[in-house]
């Protein structure tokens, strides 16, 4: 998602230019607060009912043994205990991180190179953007089916290998084949999206920086890594954070890719494509262990929270001298520099 | 039943508190009857493709003959998905089908929730009892003595093989000869070696070893959890099935392809696989996935004797809008005459013995080169052992099938895979109260 | 937009000013990227227009075959394609309209008004964005069951009718593009909060609404796990779930599955192409503007 989270919730623009008008013109009395409060209320009501309540309720559920039909049975922390001992769960955690790493690192690198290339291009930029963004628009289910046929034993990928005299690869029947297939699908889907975001960041870099690099005799690669990457750091980190959040929730690829295998619940041979969310779905909605599914949801939340905090720390750590920690601070400074 | 539903709702109502409570009120507590057919003029039926006769369903959609105003509309749910979908709808108490099909090993998984299904004896099931196979009828009952299933079909098994490939490999190739030459799994492996060595294109013996493992298991009356709720998956009968399957792999006789994938279809139509070890109901899907191989297949007795693989049941859920009509539909659809029709159309093997002698059962099938499938499946149905399935069967056997896949696809050490399977299965079922 | 204008200014400064050879290389690389980006769609058309036997032939058939209409016709005979399409359109359109309305309304309030606990409420908004939806897959399902919404499209539309991302994004936009003077002028005319929103703010939000609209629409259209869980009635599902079912039920008939995939992909691509210009411009602006 193309947004940057601001932990303080206070944008720079507002601080620099306090909202005089609303203070001076607002009529007296508490009643004037009613319309804006009313205006923001739909989100909070919906969140209370469909966001906050389920989260709290899932805590309650995680202490129960319940198949959704019969009686609930209170089991205390047993679900969590089982979860910690569940080798499939930890396998799914490992898979998720492996797939996340295999997809995110090449994806961000390719996106950066692509943005750099697009930036140096004058003609057809609009057409390029559309072409590169389309993978992100299409249904993951449909495209997973297509990729599934490409990666099949007798599919296009192996036919291509055969044509150049190589042996076929067990794309969907070996540990790294499965992880690579899933990662390739994610890369294909997200390179263009991130490239366009990087491109926007690139275009915000003042041209003098490029000129200075050129005067110093830097070649293209040096320009990329000495000028572009440092300048784009906030945008890259933003992309890294969103890819992390998305990457830890991989589901569709693994489920649809191995749909013929017990209706997509296994994650393929050796469960090498089993992700955390796929396992949660399998336990909750295939085996109907609602308590177990709820406990797993909480563990997933804890993992994502830890990662988000690490991410924030990483950014703010190098940013303390500026007095405004956080990614948003970084981005805001850049925005201010651009005169926005 | 009712009080349980209320208490759960009250609990949620209280915990939801103000805002949620208001919305709950607004929603009017939703599905009034919970049936998927609420507000329509038909009963709803969930089944999977191939489990019921398409022609009879088309008739029932227009109106069940002999019962004015009764119409039934079927919805297709993927095979492996139907039990969990039914459970999900039961948990939601909404869009529950009036009638549903349940797989043989899935009926037992519903036993712990038996009250979600109607007791068919209360609708007069005993009156038609003498039409059906005795063992099948008995397996419809829960341990507490309620009858929640109704006999659909049986699943006698056979060895499907490619006559042409066997002949080209210089092996015995007529059904009777094979039955004699390949009486055991050991001989089966030996034949596989000959096939791989001498038949053109070096065909594999089987598509994957999971199928063989399954068939050997079904030749035993005991599976993974016994009637006393004890885990017996680590015992000799399972170990033997495991070892034979692994041996097939070790000899390089498995194509190592997952069933139901495009690769599987490609292999079957491309003559890459010489045999199939499965039940009668697989005939239809084989015809669909490999139409070009028509005439080349034959059927013969399974090595070490037949089993009963699958064969399903039908149930009425407690949300069924009209139990009497639902039951009338079952007795019509699964009457001897209609079971005969289903056999002819879909290779669904009747559970009504009276039709076994019918000339229509003896129709030759050109897909099998004019062989009469009943000549193999008929005796198989009589000889197959009656197997006990525990409600926890699936939880207990899943790790074994998965580890076998790991051995086959990823080259995992079979000894380690066996130990892992036993450990995982034991842990899993001990949580479910199996000792 | 500013970002667009600068393109010409800075173009050529990075690497393009190198030799002609460099320029050709860059263009070749970009075209290769486009090919990779678009190839799966081409391949989908090839698969959807062939027969099931064609699909695993070696060497593979690389050009479209003559069976496209045939296969599409069989999809229509096999599944309720238009019913699923209709459901998907209902969810995506209604959901998008609600999101646009609620998000822009809240964004307007956050950007231009003071009220008690504003900072706290806004901070909370951002925290909620970090909670993964899958965390509460089970309790959300149970909640829907209690509401009696399980199996109905309401379960897809209502919970996502307002979201943190949209409010945050629209608020940024409102702060940058909605001059206080305009609001003041409206106030002098005696307009209240909601009239100012409707007559002054909303028209100015149009570009941002276009972006958020397409973004939301795509998200709702492609949502898979939640409809898979909550749409119990097999006869009332969205396109994604219908396609997944088709894939499981008819795995022997691959050209049929491919034709279904193609049919499910085309409508959304058309919607995207119609709005692509606005969308991509605002996507780019959105990423750097905040």
Q: What is the DSSP string of A189-217?
A: HHHHHHHHHHHHHHHTS-HHHHHHHHHTT
The pLDDT of residue A109 is: 92
Q: Give the best residue of C153, C158, C248, C256 to mutate against chain B (max B CB count within 10 A).
A: C248
Query: Does A19 lie at the interface with C, CB-CB under 8 angstroms?
Result: yes
| B88/C232 touch (CB, cutoff 8 Å), yes or no | yes
**Cis omega (within 30 of 0) for bond into B38:** no
pLDDT digits 0-9 by tens, B406-432: 999 999 999 999 999 999 999 999 988
User: Closest to C7 (Cβ–Cβ): which among A49, A125, A201?
Assistant: A125
Q: Which chains touch B (3 or more CB pairs under 8 A)?
A: A, C
Q: Residue written as tokens 């008939």?
A: C253
Contact A79, A280 (CB under 8 A): no
Q: What are phi and psi of B384, to 5 degrees?
A: -60, 135
The Cα–Cα gap between B98 and B117 comes to 10
The Cα–Cα gap between C188 and B241 comes to 87
The CATH code of domain B16-154+311-362 reads: 3.40.190.10
User: What is the DSSP-derived secondary structure letter of residue B387?
Assistant: P
| A70/B112 touch (CB, cutoff 8 Å), yes or no | yes
Q: Is A304 exposed, middle or buried (0-12, 13-18, 19+ CB in 10 A)?
A: buried
> How many Å lie between the alpha carbon of B292 and the closest alpha carbon of chain C?
10
The Cα–Cα gap between A145 and B188 comes to 36
Q: Which chains touch C (3 or more CB pairs under 8 A)?
A: A, B
Q: What is the enclosing helix (H) or strand (E) of C276? A: helix C254-289
User: Closest to C149 (Cβ–Cβ): which among B30, B75, B285?
Assistant: B30
Residue of A nearest to C126 (CA): A5
User: Closest to B87 (Cβ–Cβ): which among A69, A72, A175?
Assistant: A69
pLDDT digits 0-9 by tens, A129-140: 899 999 998 889
**Per-residue tens of pLDDT for chain B, all 435 residues:** 334 444 444 445 444 444 444 444 444 333 347 888 888 899 999 999 899 999 999 999 999 998 989 999 999 998 888 999 999 999 999 999 999 999 887 899 999 999 999 999 999 999 999 999 999 999 999 999 999 999 999 999 999 999 999 999 999 999 999 999 999 999 999 999 999 999 999 999 999 999 999 999 999 999 999 999 999 999 999 999 999 999 999 999 999 998 888 788 889 988 999 999 999 999 998 998 888 899 999 999 999 999 999 999 999 999 999 999 999 999 999 999 999 999 999 999 999 999 999 999 999 999 999 999 999 999 999 999 999 999 999 899 999 999 999 999 999 999 999 999 999 999 999 988 887
> How many Å lie between the alpha carbon of B181 and the closest alpha carbon of chain A?
34
Q: pTM for this structure?
A: 0.88
Q: Would you say the CATH fold of B156-308+389-430 matches that of B16-154+311-362?
A: yes
Interface of C with B (CB under 8 A): 52-53, 55-56, 141-151, 229, 232-235, 245, 248-254
Q: Which residues of C touch A283 (CB under 8 A)?
A: none
Q: Nearest-CA neighbor of A196 among A254, A248, A135? A: A135
| C132/A248 touch (CB, cutoff 8 Å), yes or no | yes
ipTM beyond cut 0.90: no
Query: Does A164 lie at the interface with C, CB-CB under 8 angstroms?
Result: no
| A285/B23 touch (CB, cutoff 8 Å), yes or no | no
Q: Which residues of A touch B262 (CB under 8 A)?
A: 148-149, 152, 154-155
Q: Which residues of C touch B9 (CB under 8 A)?
A: 146
Question: Residue ranges per domain, chain B?
Answer: 16-154+311-362, 156-308+389-430
Q: Which residues of A touch B263 (CB under 8 A)?
A: 152-154
> How many Å lie between the alpha carbon of A193 and the closest alpha carbon of chain B?
31
The Cα–Cα gap between C8 and C15 comes to 14
- Which of A172-181, A253-262, B115-124, B157-166 is least confident? A253-262
- Assess if CATH 3.40.50.300 describes domain B156-308+389-430: no
User: Closest to A69 (Cβ–Cβ): which among B15, B116, B395?
Assistant: B116
Q: Give the best residue of A154, A175, A266 to mutate against chain B (max B CB count within 10 A).
A: A154
Residue of A nearest to B113 (CA): A70
CB neighbours of residue A210 within 10 Å: 23
Q: Give the best residue of C38, C136, C274 to mutate against chain A (max A CB count within 10 A).
A: C136
Residue of A nearest to C38 (CA): A131
Find how far residue A50's CA is from the centre of its chain: 22
Find how far residue B292's CA is from the centre of its chain: 26
Q: Please give the structure tokens belonging to residue B177.
A: 């000869």
């Amino acid at each position: 998602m193309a947004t940057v989270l601001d932990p303080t919730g206070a944008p720079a623009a507002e601080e620099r230019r306090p909202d005089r008008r609303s203070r001076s013109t607002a009529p007296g009395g508490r009643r004037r607060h009613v319309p804006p409060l009313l205006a923001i209320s739909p989100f909070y009501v919906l969140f209370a009912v469909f966001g906050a309540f389920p989260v709290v309720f899932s805590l309650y559920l995680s202490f129960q043994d319940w198949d959704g039909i019969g009686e609930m049975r209170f089991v205390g922390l047993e679900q969590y205990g089982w979860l910690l001992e569940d080798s499939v769960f930890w396998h799914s955690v490992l898979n998720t991180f492996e797939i996340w790493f295999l997809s995110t690192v090449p994806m961000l690198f390719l996106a950066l190179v692509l943005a750099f290339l697009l930036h140096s291009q004058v003609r057809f930029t609009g057409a390029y953007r559309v072409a590169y963004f389309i993978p992100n628009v299409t249904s993951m289910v449909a495209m997973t089916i297509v990729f599934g046929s490409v990666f099949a034993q007798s599919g296009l990928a192996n036919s291509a290998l055969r044509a150049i005299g190589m042996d076929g690869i067990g794309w969907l029947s070996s540990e790294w084949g499965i992880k690579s297939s899933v990662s390739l699908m994610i890369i294909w889907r997200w390179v263009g999206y991130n490239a366009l975001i990087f491109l926007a960041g690139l275009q915000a870099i003042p041209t003098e920086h490029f000129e200075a690099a050129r005067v110093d005799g830097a070649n293209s690669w040096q320009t990329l890594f000495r000028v572009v990457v440092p300048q784009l750091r906030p945008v890259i980190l933003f992309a890294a954070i969103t890819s992390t959040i998305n990457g830890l929730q991989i589901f569709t690829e693994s489920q649809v890719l191995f749909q013929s295998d017990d209706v997509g619940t296994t994650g393929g041979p050796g469960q090498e494509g089993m992700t955390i969310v796929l396992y949660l779905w399998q336990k909750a909605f295939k085996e109907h262990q609602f308590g177990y599914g709820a406990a797993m949801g909480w563990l997933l939340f804890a993992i994502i929270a830890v990662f988000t905090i690490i991410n924030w720390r990483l950014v703010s750590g190098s940013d303390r001298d500026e007095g405004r920690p956080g990614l948003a601070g970084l981005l805001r400074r850049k925005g201010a520099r651009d005169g926005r | 039943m009712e009080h349980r539903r209320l208490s759960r709702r009250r609990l949620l109502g209280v915990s939801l508190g103000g805002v949620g409570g208001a919305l709950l009120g607004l929603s009017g507590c939703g599905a009034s009857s919970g049936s998927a057919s609420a507000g329509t003029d038909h009963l709803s039926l969930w089944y999977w493709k191939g489990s019921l006769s398409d022609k009879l369903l088309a008739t029932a959609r227009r109106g069940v003959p002999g019962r004015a105003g009764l119409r039934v509309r079927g919805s297709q749910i993927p095979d492996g998905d139907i039990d969990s979908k039914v459970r999900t709808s039961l948990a939601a108490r909404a869009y529950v089908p009036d009638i549903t099909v349940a797989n043989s090993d899935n009926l037992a998984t519903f036993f712990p929730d038996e009250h979600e299904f109607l007791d068919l004896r209360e609708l007069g099931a005993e009156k038609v009892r003498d039409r059906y196979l005795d063992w099948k009828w008995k397996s419809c009952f829960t341990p507490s003595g309620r009858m929640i299933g109704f006999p659909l079909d049986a699943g006698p098994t056979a060895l499907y093989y490619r006559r042409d490939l066997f002949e080209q490999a210089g092996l015995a190739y007529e059904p009777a000869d094979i039955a004699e030459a390949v009486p055991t799994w050991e001989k089966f492996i030996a034949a596989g070696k000959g096939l791989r060595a001498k038949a053109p294109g070096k065909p594999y013996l089987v598509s994957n070893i999971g199928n063989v493992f399954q068939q050997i298991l079904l030749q035993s009356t005991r599976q993974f959890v016994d009637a006393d709720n004890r885990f017996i998956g680590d015992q000799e009968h399972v170990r033997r099935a495991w070892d034979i399957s692994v041996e097939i792999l070790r000899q390089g006789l498995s194509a190592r392809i997952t069933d139901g994938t495009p690769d599987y279809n490609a292999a079957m139509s491309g003559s890459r696989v010489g045999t199939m070890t499965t039940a009668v109901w697989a005939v239809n899907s084989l015809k669909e996935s490999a139409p070009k191989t028509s005439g080349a297949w034959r059927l013969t007795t399974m090595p070490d004797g037949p089993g009963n693989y699958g064969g399903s049941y039908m149930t009425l859920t407690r949300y069924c809008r009209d139990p009497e009509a639902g039951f009338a539909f079952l007795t019509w659809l699964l009457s001897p005459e209609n079971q005969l029709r289903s056999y002819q159309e879909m290779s669904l093997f009747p559970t009504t013995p009276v039709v076994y002698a019918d000339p229509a059962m003896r129709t030759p099938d050109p897909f099998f080169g004019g062989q009469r499938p009943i000549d193999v499946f008929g005796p198989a149905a009589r000889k197959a052992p009656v197997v006990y399935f525990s409600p926890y069967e699936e939880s207990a056997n899943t790790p074994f099938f998965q580890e076998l896949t790991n051995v086959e696809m990823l080259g995992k050490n079979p000894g380690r895979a066996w130990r892992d399977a036993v450990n995982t299965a034991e842990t899993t079922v001990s949580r479910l109260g199996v000792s | 937009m500013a970002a667009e204008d600068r393109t010409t200014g800075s173009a050529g400064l990075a690497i393009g000013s190198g030799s002609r050879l460099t320029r050709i290389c860059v263009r070749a690389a970009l075209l290769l990227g486009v090919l990779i980006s678009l190839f799966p769609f081409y391949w989908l058309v090839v698969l959807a227009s062939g027969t099931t036997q064609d699909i695993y032939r070696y060497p593979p058939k690389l050009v479209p075959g003559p069976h496209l209409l045939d296969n599409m016709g069989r999809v229509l005979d096999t599944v309720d394609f238009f019913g699923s399409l209709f459901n998907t359109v209902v969810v995506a359109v209604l959901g998008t309209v609600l999101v646009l309305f609620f998000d822009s309304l809240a964004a307007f309030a956050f950007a231009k008004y003071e009220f008690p606990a504003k900072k706290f409420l806004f901070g909370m908004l951002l925290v909620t964005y970090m909670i993964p939806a899958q965390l509460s897959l089970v309790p959300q399902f149970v909640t829907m069951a209690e509401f009696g919404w399980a199996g109905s499209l309401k379960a897809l539309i209502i919970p996502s009718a307002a979201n943190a991302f949209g409010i945050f994004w629209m608020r940024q936009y409102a702060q940058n593009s909605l001059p206080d003077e305009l609001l003041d002028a409206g106030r002098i005319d005696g307009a209240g909060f909601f009239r100012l929103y409707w007559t002054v703010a909303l028209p100015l939000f149009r570009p941002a609404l276009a972006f958020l609209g397409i973004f939301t629409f795509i998200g709702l259209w492609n949502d898979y796990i939640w409809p898979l869980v909550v749409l119990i009635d097999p006869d009332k599902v969205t396109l994604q779930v219908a396609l997944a079912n088709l894939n499981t039920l008819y795995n022997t008939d691959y050209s049929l599955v491919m034709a279904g995939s193609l049919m499910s992909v085309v409508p959304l691509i058309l919607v995207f192409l119609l709005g692509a210009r606005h969308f991509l411009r605002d996507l780019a602006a959105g990423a750097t503007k905040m």
